[in-house]
Structure 1
């Protein structure tokens, strides 16, 4: 076990170094020791509050991980998703991917309040969100990695970006891959990061069309196991029940493992965007099979891809700001 953890750490570090030195932006780059002197207890504070929140509600781990994803795919990892609406800002929280489903904001508020008391005006909301995603993964049994830090917070949001850039459950494989490529991510990142659906929930409205042949061509969806579909229909009727929640991974819904990929092989992926990884692309299918067979391989790649995603267009140096309140820009 110790050897395995050391191996994962080594791989994570190897993944980090090229990003660190190749991603220089105006005023600096990201590196794990960014707060070692300015706020040495920062990571400990984030970890403690996330642990308390996940202990209270296991689903919160997936919610925080999802928020990080939805943040990075819109203008980069800049905490724009955390901004409430105001006179000058139209919040991303009302976008199609976030409305009635994005959650965990109160946990991030608590972390920010604690950090402002410990080291005022020092730790960005963007870094808090990135660290919370890592801790959520670890707390549920997934891999750990060194988180490059030093992001600053945006002074604006993008509702259109949130609506258009975040992959949707009903997107085709090609559309999803195109959205990943726009962010500098590849097909390996797509499959590995989709593995985060080993924890969390999805609403009935996110996959109903798969249960009732609403695919646009009138033909049944043969990419879902029919007994599994029948089971889902009990709580996801043809109309109504839109907000009813279902586990993304019905085998081990609160444990970060590789059963998500095993479910895909059994045609029991909940979302269309999950199952197309097996049915629409040869390379993606091979990766699904590899991760289903080898959990450590999945963990290593997931850590690499999370570092890569967390490195999408960060604001550093004098760009952006360090928000005092994650919900609003500084006055």
Structure 2
């Protein structure tokens, strides 16, 4: 997957990830936490895409960070502002700690003693991605001169994450372990495992086993998320299987590729980031205040899609077109208006 061109089935993968998360939140399936499964599908896709950008395309870090900020920050901060304002208008108790930790992408470390009062708990997974992007970008900067050094560096990071996860599972249990499992030094495993698979070239060439590899890996990854599976098994086997599957997806049987290229699934993938952000208030209303799941899901889709077109897409396009570029490089019409 070193080709920088757009790969349509990866939009469908992203759509499957957000569909799993929505299913886990609004229509839970006994036995499998589809919310966690969806997050891990996002993580392995991020690992593949960021590695392609940083290690293959060798995008300058200034551009890399600007584009990440343009994609993420406007949507997140508007979400936090609107939600906080809604709490104030409704007379609900605010948690400054929860707001501050979400705004600084540290709420996977700063966790309240009880349930999150404000609908910001889901930003823990976005925090993991942000932390992983920083480390991946630094590793890319230090090792770009040698593919072998890149493999060793990312391999060492993946091994370190695995060892930390096993150590936490050995020394903690219950709620304490659940909190530690939110930490980036554990939950970033899927991102780094997928990055390592990419750098090793394990998804680059067709194989005679492709007719069964991706379907089997997907089944293994889903099965590893069974409720009674130990946390290390869910991470190492489940995320590991998903990391291999997403890297080999373009070589999957055409029937599998057609599923991931299904237009509605790809559309969900296009909306996925805004859906991820805005579903959380409605999830909490369903879970804690009796809103019907169908209404919560419908409002999540409506508000998330609207936020994509009204906030995420235009803010990202404007910042990418203007931020960091000299005035002479900006569109002529914009300069004339200025």
- Shared topology, TM-score over 0.5? no
TM bucket, shorter chain: under 0.3
Under a length normalisation based on structure 1, what TM-score does the superposition of the two structures give? Answer: 0.26
Q: Which has the higher helix share?
A: 2
Under a length normalisation based on structure 2, what TM-score does the superposition of the two structures give? Answer: 0.26
